[in-house]
Structure 1
């Protein structure tokens, strides 16, 4: 690890975002291991939210996949590390509601929670596996959302 990565590790411990990430992983039944770049991998995460291949809280990168998922995706690891820096610069957990606001704004503009989310853009959309979608009229976004909701299977 570099000196700056050590600063991020300590900062995200002090601002409690990494502690929150560990708690989310424990609640989700994840298995923990040390990753590179000062990250902790929490694999085999069992909760269905959020819907993503991986997501970061502090320096903890959570995923429903096995450890090999990160070993085989160095670009994704860099993307998730950028999110860990966002927690550092935003002093921890304020990142969560701010990210949520960014996701809502992105959805309103594109019908996609990542495409215009400034946090995903700063972490490099492509590295995170996202596609940049164009801004579209809100009516189209609304119709796409209704279509997706109607196509979901109904619960018991």
Structure 2
């Protein structure tokens, strides 16, 4: 409910409509948007508010990946909605600087579960240098 009030879920629904995704009610208050046609962002799935968007067909959002995306919905509530977007971009930049990968040190991806999201665990660039 919080993500409807903070406008992140309505924004996610707008993105789903623009991306011509098929929207349906999902589990745990989530909304699934399958068949998203815009090629950005490059991800198997991504979440805006309580809307989980994917280019894949129905049945893709299950198990660990669905739990990962549900955690992102909770993060939107904790970030009071849309402020999560610039915070997430900042987390991507930090992760790229530290590891060269957008998710490995991204606070939001780590809290959502890197393994559940299918992301690798890269060490920091500085740690790699000391190990060589």
TM-score (norm 1): 0.79
CA distance in 1, matches of 2:120, 2:96: 13
Q: Is structure 2 residue 110 aligned with structure 1 residue 129?
A: no
Consecutive unaligned residues of structure 1, counting only runs of 5 or more, are 1-9, 141-156
User: Within 5 Å, which residues of 2 pair with 1:99-114?
Assistant: 99-114=88-103
After superposition, what is the alpha-carbon deviation per residue over 1:58-110, rounded to whole angstroms, capped at 9, x for unaligned? 0000000011111xx31111100000000001100000000000001101111
Higher relative contact order (CA 8 A, sep 6+): 2
CA distance in 1, matches of 2:102, 2:109: 9
Q: Cα RMSD over matched residues?
A: 1.1
SS at match of 2:47: strand
Q: 2:74 aligns with which of 82, 85, 89?
A: 85
SS at match of 1:69: coil
Q: Is structure 2 residue 37 aligned with structure 1 residue 46?
A: yes
Q: Which residue of 2 is the match for residue 13 of structure 1?
A: 4
TM-score (norm 2): 0.94
Q: 1:118 aligns with which of 93, 107, 123?
A: 107
CA distance in 2, matches of 1:24, 1:111: 28
- List, as ranges, runs of 4+ consecutive aligned residues in structure 1 with deviation greater than 4 Å: none
- Kindly name which structure, 1 or 2, has the bigger radius of gyration based on alpha carbons: 1
Consecutive unaligned residues of structure 2, counting only runs of 5 or more, are none
